[in-house]
Structure 1
């Protein structure tokens, strides 16, 4: 029983983090479509949005969620290279 409670709490925390990442503007449409199984047309009608706008909003929400779960790799630093002539040695003390 305790495991079920712990997993339920962990699931709630994960969902709340995901909703925070999407922000209040996008979380509502994602919840309506993905959790409450509302159709895009229904969401548009309820929110009085133009036709086909729910699809764009849902896509934007899912892209934000994708970045949350799969953050882009940081740019790799280039290795410093020197193209000196053969036998070249820098002088440390002049």
Structure 2
């Protein structure tokens, strides 16, 4: 299972709803963290010698052969960034991409104490809403059974007919 950043893990509490963040906030955090991971936007500390990172003779800056998964993740992040308030998106990126703590974010942005915590929760609330996550799980009340056959033929036909 994917590990949440420390800033989110401390706010979620041990029992889910005991902490500042509810379970659906934590699930939104897990989903956005996985999306950031798949987008390969994190900075690397060590050198990687695979062709996608160092480039080859035919590629420009090594970015020509990114996988479809990376491109899909980056497009998904771009769509989410357009729909989430900019301050919230900045805090989400600082927490999930740059592994910054909430106090560091407050110092860098010259925000009052505990304000990054609120902005993080607002951002996760927005993400949860965009991803269709709620405090309660509600499915469709009733769905119509769809089939490509108008009527199911009998498995064992009646021999008298």
Task: Report if TM-score (shorter chain) is over 0.5.
Answer: yes
**2:92 matched residue in structure 1:** 30
Runs of 4+ in structure 1 over 2 Å off: none
Query: Following the alignment from structure 1 to structure 2, what is the Cα–Cα distance between the partners of residues 66 and 47?
Result: 25
Counterpart-to-counterpart distance in 1, 2:83 and 2:130: 7
Larger Rg: 1
**Secondary structure of 2:112 counterpart:** coil
Please give the per-residue CA displacement for 1:34-79, whole angstroms capped at 9, x wherever unaligned.
2211000000000000000000000000000000001678xxxxxx
Q: In the alignment, which residue of structure 1 is the partner of 2:75?
A: 13
State the distance in 1 between where 2:113 and 2:87 align.
18
Aligned to 2:114: 52
1:43 — aligned with what? 105
Structure 2 distance, partners of 1:12, 1:6, is 10
- TM-score, length-normalised on structure 2? 0.41
Q: Give RMSD over aligned pairs.
A: 2.3
Deviates more, 1:16-25 or 1:46-55: 16-25
Structure 1: gaps spanning 5 or more residues = 74-94
Higher helix fraction: Structure 1 or Structure 2? 1
Shift, 1:25, TM fit: 2.3
Q: Which residue of 1 aligns with 2:130?
A: 68
Q: How many residues align?
A: 74
